């Protein structure tokens, strides 16, 4: 069984010194041989300085996004090639990228392929909007997001892949509510089926499916125990050392 994964997505928060401060608070409290894989996803600006301070026995780093070309005249963009030495994971298709920056399934597919091509593991985010859930389209949306994100990859490529189920209506301070563990479980079973039909059961079994959307120390345990979540993508509560450490601890204890 693969280790559970807890990813802190710091989004557009913290400058270099604030990030170092949070890292140090986390670093002094976390154990070296953690049963849970803990990943920090700070801004691009902060990745390099943090990479020099981080204890890699305790944490891994992730980028929050990347561009799909490896290099060239693309003002303002950062490629997976540039991130290769810094990060082990890259988040692709986060709903804020899809909905605020109009990223399409095609963009997500190209980015996923670029991440894999550069030897990094993609954390592919999928999730329906409130309207799509209300209209009973959840599975249809997830089916097309999953298959299009992975259309350029082979079963060989995806052995470490992580899928984050992040219903759009559950994310951020304007969230309607968090998903329930049952809702997560239903989606995770469905996603495994889609992955197993495309890549084969053996490969699909190893793909971790994590939950994101208003994860906090109160709801984390139920997602692992009742929902069967392989971990979390945490936004707001990853900005607070105490809460993030609690979520890691809960994930670890729920595992046992």
Nearer to ligand PGA, 93 or 212 (CB): 212
Q: Which of 103, 128, 132, 166 is catalytic?
A: 166
Question: Which region, judged by CB under 6 A, interacts with ligand PGA, from 61-69, 141-149, 183-191, 212-220?
Answer: 212-220
Tell me the C-alpha distance between 193 and 195, whole Å. 5
Q: Does 171 bind ligand PGA (CB under 6 A)?
A: yes
Asked if 249 interacts with ligand PGA (CB under 6 A), we say no
Query: Which tokens is 80 given?
Result: 């997976």
123 contacts ligand PGA (rule: CB under 6 A): no
Answer whether 34's CB lies under 8 Å from 65's CB. Answer: no
State residue 47 phi and psi, 5-degree precision.
-55, -45
Piece of the chain touching ligand PGA by CB under 6 A; list 76-84, 113-121, 188-196, 213-221: 213-221
Q: How is residue 240 written in tokens?
A: 């607070």
Phi, psi of 124 (to 5 degrees): -90, 120
Q: Catalytic residue at 166?
A: yes
Among 212, 220, 223, 229, binds ligand PGA (CB under 6 A): 212
Among 9, 19, 79, 138, which residue sits at the site for ligand PGA (rule: CB under 6 A)? 9
Q: Which of 228, 138, 153 is nearest to 198 (CA)?
A: 153
- Tell me if residue 94 is catalytic: yes
CB of 240 to ligand PGA, least distance (A): 11
Beta bridge partners of 60: 39
Phi and psi of 180, rounded to 5°?
-90, 160
Minimum CB–partner distance for residue 94 and ligand PGA (Å): 6
For helices 16-29 and 44-53, give the axis angle rounded to 10 degrees.
40
Residues that bind ligand PGA (CB under 6 A): 9, 166, 171-172, 175, 212-215, 233-236
């Amino acid at each position: 069984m693969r280790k559970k994964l807890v990813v802190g997505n710091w989004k557009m928060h913290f400058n270099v010194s604030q990030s170092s401060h949070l890292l140090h608070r986390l670093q002094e409290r976390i154990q070296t041989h953690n049963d849970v894989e803990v990943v920090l996803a700070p801004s691009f600006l902060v990745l390099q300085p943090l990479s020099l301070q981080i204890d890699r026995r305790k944490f891994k780093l992730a980028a929050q996004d990347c561009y799909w070309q490896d290099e060239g005249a693309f003002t303002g963009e950062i490629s997976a090639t540039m991130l290769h030495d810094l990060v082990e994971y890259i988040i692709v298709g986060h709903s804020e990228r899809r909905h605020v920056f109009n990223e399409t399934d095609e963009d997500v597919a190209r980015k996923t392929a670029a991440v894999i091509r550069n030897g990094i593991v993609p954390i592919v985010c999928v999730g329906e909007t409130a309207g799509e859930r209300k209209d009973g389209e959840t599975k249809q949306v997830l089916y097309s997001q999953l298959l299009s994100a992975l259309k350029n990859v082979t079963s060989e490529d995806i052995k470490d892949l992580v899928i984050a189920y992040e219903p759009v209506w559950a994310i951020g301070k304007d969230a309607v509510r968090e998903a329930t563990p049952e809702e997560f479980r239903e989606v995770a079973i469905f996603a495994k089926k889609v992955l197993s039909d495309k890549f084969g059961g053996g490969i699909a079994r190893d793909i971790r499916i994590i939950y994101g959307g208003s994860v906090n120390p109160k709801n984390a345990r139920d997602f692992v125990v009742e929902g069967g979540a392989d971990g979390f993508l945490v936004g707001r509560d990853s900005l607070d050392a105490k809460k993030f450490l609690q979520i890691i601890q809960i994930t670890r204890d729920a595992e046992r």
